[in-house]
Chains A and B, each alone.
Chain A
C-alpha cells in the first residue's frame, strides 16, 4: 500500500505574503483553518476557498488549495455553481459583515435555504476595513465613522438570526482568539449541508476592541456562554450563573443557588430551532452571548438532490443521446 502523505499546517499555506494589518484577527482565523484542514485530513486538491471582496476575502490567496477571489458579495453564488458542477469538492466561503450581509445578503440567504454543502465563515468585525472604516450592517447604532460623522442611525442586524430565518441547517458562533474556534470549525467541517459560522473578528485598525467583552481574559467568561448540546446554559468565571425561561418564555439571567438549581435552567438542544433563535437574540450587555453550535440538523443537500434528479431521469427515460435530442417533439418526414 502506498503511503499517504500526511499534510501539516504548513502545507496549507500558499507562497504569497499575507497582507493583513499587523494584529488583525484574520491571522488567528487563517491559522486555525489550516490546523483544522490538516487535522481532518483534507486534501489540498479537493479543497476550494471562495471569497468575495473585503479584507476577509483575501483569504483564498493565503491558502495552498484551489481558490476563487470573486466579486463583492457573490461568493455564495460562485460556491453554489462549483458544487453543482462538482459535488465532490470541499468548498468553503469566506466572507465578512459587509460582503455577506450588505451587498451579498441576498445570496447568503439563498445558499442557506438551499442547504448547499458549503461551509461559510463570516468574519464579523462590525466595520468596513478595506474601504477604510465606514460603518457596516452589524455596527451598533450611533457608530461614528467617516460616512456617519454624526453617528449611524440604522439598526444593526444579527447574523445568526438572519441565518436561522434563512433556514440554515448549521449555525454557530465563535471568537477569533478563543479556543472554541477550532472546535466550531471542526464541527462545521463535519456537517453535511450549509454550515454558517459567525466569527467575531477584531479589526485592529478601524474597530479595535469591538468584541472586548468576549475576549478580555478578566471578563469574557461572564459575557459569553459556551454552548454544549444537552447541557444546561451555565456561565460565569465561577460557573455560578445560568439562563432560565421566565413564565412568559423569555430568557433571564439567574444566580445558581438554593433558589435556582441546574435543572431549572434551559438545556441546550442543537435540534431546537426556536431555542436557537432565542439564543441568537441574546446580546451583550443584557445577556451573555452564546458561543459554539446553536443549531445543527440533518437535511438533504441541494447538489445531491439535483444529481439525484439527473440519475432518476436517466433511469426513467434512458440516457440522452444526440439522436434522441434531435428527435424530440413533432418530427415529420419530407420526401
Chain B
C-alpha cells in the first residue's frame, strides 16, 4: 500500500453519536451515487436506521467540473428512528471545487468537510465559477467554520493503483471507492459488505476481476489513510438502532412499487402487465419489473406515454392487472385514456412518480405538484381514486391497497409518489408472505341475465372477460346506458351515469381506514400533510410536542376519496397548517371541501422540506403570525415573515 500500513496507527478517540448526515458530492461522472448507495447499504446492514436523498443533475453528462454537473447523495444514519435524510450535513465529501461550492452551505458549522485537494487546480476552480486566482481552500474562514480536511484523493488513489495493471483513466474511476474508504473509517464502518458487492458486480457479473481488485484496493487505501494519516482528530460511532428484530433489506420507493405490484398481482391471481414509457424519475420501476419475468411479470416498453396507458387498459380489459407508470408530463399525456378507463369502468393502476413541473420542469428533482392534475386533469367529470405513499417503504403498502381498490371497484387508481420517495431508501422489514389478505376478484361466467353495466351495492359493474362464452359485450368511450351498457345519449341517463361514476368512487371510502392523528385529537394546531413530506412533518410535530407545544399531526394517504372522518378531525383544531411541495394544492381541496381556513407552507425548490422549515412555520402559526397570508415559503432553509414578498425586477426576486 502506498499510503502507509497499520503498524504506524495512532490511537484516535472515538465519539459516540446518535446519528449523522453524510453527503457525497462530486461530478456526475465521479460515482457519488454508487459511493452513497454503498455507504447506505453498509449502514443498514450493521443495524442503523437510514434515510437517503440522492440528488443528481438532469443531464447524464453535464459539463464536467461545473456546478450544474454536480451529483450528490445524502444519507442520514442513526441509532434511533429517523424519518428524513436530515436537514444539516455533518460530513461533506467534495470531490471537486464545484461540489464544494454547491454544497458547503448545507454543512453545519463545525462539520467535517473532506475535499479532494488534487482537483482544486486552476482549471477546475474556474469551471466551478470561482474568481481567477481564488481558492476557497486557502480561505481562513472555511477552516475556522468547518473541520476542513484536505486529502489529495486523486493522487493517492493513483498511487495506490499504480501496480494494478489498470490504465490511468480506469484507475482514476476508482477514486470514489477511495473516498468511501475514508468515510468508512471516519464513521467506523466495516468494509465487508462493499467488498462483497464489488466482487459480485465486477468480479462475477461483469467478469472484470482486475477492476474488482482495483476498486477493493482503493477502498482499503482510503480506509487505511484515515487510520494512519492523523488528519482526523476524532472518529465517530453510531450504534445500532433499536429496530424491531427481523429480516430487513434496504428499499427505494420505486423498488417498493415494483414489489407491491407483484405482491398484489399474486394475491389476486393475476399477472402484472406493466406498460410504460421511459421517464425520469419513474423508469427504475420499469427496470425493476423487467427483471421479474419469473414472477409472471410482463413489461411492455411502449412507443409513447399514450400507448403505455392504452395497452395497460387493454391488458385490464383482457383480465390481467394493467399498470402504467410515469411522471407528471406523462400523466398529462395519459389523461384521455384514463377517462376511457373511467367510462369503461375497468381497473387500472397509474403510478405517478412526481417531479418538478410544469412542462419539462426539473426532471430529476422532487415536487408534489401533480395532485390537482391527478384529481381533475381530464375532460368531463372524471373521478378516479387517488392514493399517495408517505415513505419509500410505504410505496409497497399503498401499491397493494391501490391494486385492491382498482380490481375490486373497477376503477382507475392513481398512485402518487415523488422523486424523493422513488429514489430515496430506508430499511424495510421483510414481511411474512402469509400475512397478506387475498384480493378476491370475481369474473362472471353465467350468460343468464348478464348485463355489462349492472351494479352491486358498491356500484361496481361485472368484469366479464373476453374468452367467456355468452358474455360478449362492447365497451367504449361513448356514454353508456345504465345497466345495459349500450350507447346512449339521453339527457337523464347522462346525469344518472355521471352520478353513478361519482358515487362509485365515493363509496370506496367505505374500505379505506380512518385518518388517525398523531398527538392529540384536538387542540390549537393540526399539521396536515400528504405524500412524501411525511417524514419531515412528523419529525417537526414530534419535536414541537416534546417542547410542550399544542400541536398534532395527521397524514393523508388517501386523497380521493378522503377518509370519512377527516372533516370531523379538522373541526377539532383551531388552526390547520398544510405544508406541501407545491403552491397549495391540498390546501385548495381542503378549503373547498371542508370550508376550513387552512394555511400553507409551500416550497417548490426541487428539494424536500427541512424539519426546521416546518418547525418555524408551526411556531409562526401558533403565534398567529400568518395574518392574511394564505401561505408562507422558506428561503435558504428559513421561514421569515419579512421575507415573503418578491421583488420581481431583480434576478433572485429578493434583493430589491
Partner of A88, one of B247, B317, B467: B467
Q: Is B474 touching A74 in the complex (CB atoms < 8 A)? A: no
A50-91 residues with Cβ-Cβ distance < 8 A to B are: 50, 53, 60-61, 63-71, 74, 76-86, 88-89
Q: How far is the CB of A188 from chain B (nearest CB, A)?
A: 20
Stretch at the interface among B55-63, B216-224, B295-303, B616-624: B295-303
By a CB distance below 8 angstroms, the chain A residues around B247 are 327, 331-334
Distance of A131 from chain B, by nearest CB (Å): 15
Taking CB atoms, residues of chain A closer than 8 Å to B45 are: 330, 332
> Contacts A74-B337, A78-B313 known; A45 to B292 CB distance under 8 Å?
no
Which chain A residues lie closer than 8 Å to B475 at the CB level? 67-69
Contact (Cβ within 8 A) A46 B476: no
User: What residues of A have a CB within 8 angstroms of the CB of B248 in the complex?
Assistant: 331-334
Q: Point out the residues of chain B lying under 8 angstroms from A147, CB to CB.
A: none
Q: Which has the most chain B C-beta neighbours within 10 Å: A43, A66, A106, A309?
A: A66
Chain B residues touching A, majority SS: mixed
**8 Å CB interface, A137-194 against B:** none
Cα A65 to Cα B469 with chains together (Å): 10
Q: Please indicate the chain A residues that have their CB under 8 angstroms from the CB of B431 in the complex.
A: 326
- Among candidates A48, A313, A318, A332, residue contacting B44 with C-beta atoms closer than 8 Å: A332
Chain B CB within 8 A of A281 CB: no
**Is B119 interfacial (CB-CB < 8 Å)?**
no
- State whether A45 and B433 are in contact (beta carbons under 8 Å apart), knowing that A69-B476, A107-B303 are contacts in the complex: no
The answer, yes or no, to whether A319 is at the interface (CB within 8 Å) is: yes
A329 to B197, CA, bound (A): 11
Return chain B residues, CB-CB under 8 Å to A333: 245-248
A64-B472, A330-B249 are contacts. A81–B44 as well, Cβ < 8 Å? no
- The yes or no answer to B273 lying at the interface (CB within 8 A) is yes
Chain B residues with CB under 8 A of A306: 298, 300
Q: Is there contact, CB below 8 Å, between B340 and A70?
A: yes
**Chain A 299-335 interface 0/1 with B at a Cβ cutoff of 8 Å (1 = within):** 0000000100110111011111111111111111111
Contact A81–B249 (Cβ < 8 Å): no
A77 contacts B306, C-beta separation under 8 Å:
yes
Least CB separation from B339: chain A residue: A71
What residues of A have a CB within 8 angstroms of the CB of B436 in the complex?
322
Bound Cα distance A99, B318 (Å) = 23
B317 touches A77 (CB 8 A): no
Chain B: number of interface residues, binned into ranges: 35 or more
Q: Which of A67, A81, A106 contacts B303, CB < 8 Å?
A: A106
Set of chain B residues within 8 Å of A213, measured between Cβ atoms: none
- Asked, given contacts A74-B337, A77-B310, A86-B466, whether A320 binds B433 with beta carbons under 8 Å apart, the answer is no
Interface size, chain A (Cβ < 8 Å): 64
Contact B337–A16 (Cβ < 8 Å): no
Contact B296 A320 (CB under 8 A): yes
Complex Cα distance A184/B197, Å?
58
Minimum CB–CB distance for A1 against chain B, Å = 18
* Interface-lining segment among B72-80, B205-213, B259-267: B259-267
- Mark B128-139 against chain A: 1 for CB-CB distance below 8 A, else 0: 000000000000
A226: CB under 8 A from chain B?
no
Q: How far is the CA of A46 from the CA of B318 in the complex (A)?
A: 11
Q: Which residue of B lies closest to A323 (CB)?
A: B433
Q: How close is B272's CB to chain A, nearest CB, in angstroms? A: 10
Q: Write out the residue numbers on chain B whose beta carbons fall within 8 Å of the beta carbon of A53.
A: 477
Is there a chain B Cβ closer than 8 Å to A14's Cβ? Answer: yes
| A–B complex contacts, Cβ < 8 Å, 16 sampled | A44-B472, A66-B466, A67-B474, A69-B475, A74-B337, A80-B311, A86-B319, A106-B303, A107-B303, A316-B294, A321-B266, A322-B263, A322-B266, A329-B251, A331-B430, A334-B248
Known: A61-B487, A332-B45. 14 other contacts (CB 8 A): A45-B467, A69-B475, A69-B477, A70-B313, A77-B307, A88-B467, A109-B303, A110-B302, A314-B293, A316-B294, A319-B294, A322-B436, A325-B292, A327-B247
CB-based closest 6 A-B pairs? A81-B314, A69-B476, A320-B295, A81-B311, A313-B293, A77-B310
Which residues of B are at the interface with A, using a C-beta cutoff of 8 A? 41, 44-45, 47, 193, 197, 240, 243-251, 255, 259, 262-263, 266, 271, 273, 275, 292-298, 300, 302-304, 306-308, 310-320, 322, 336-337, 339-340, 344, 430-431, 433, 436, 465-478, 486-487
Interface residues of A (CB under 8 A from B): 14, 16, 43-46, 48, 50, 53, 60-61, 63-71, 74, 76-86, 88-89, 106-107, 109-110, 306, 309-310, 312-314, 316-335
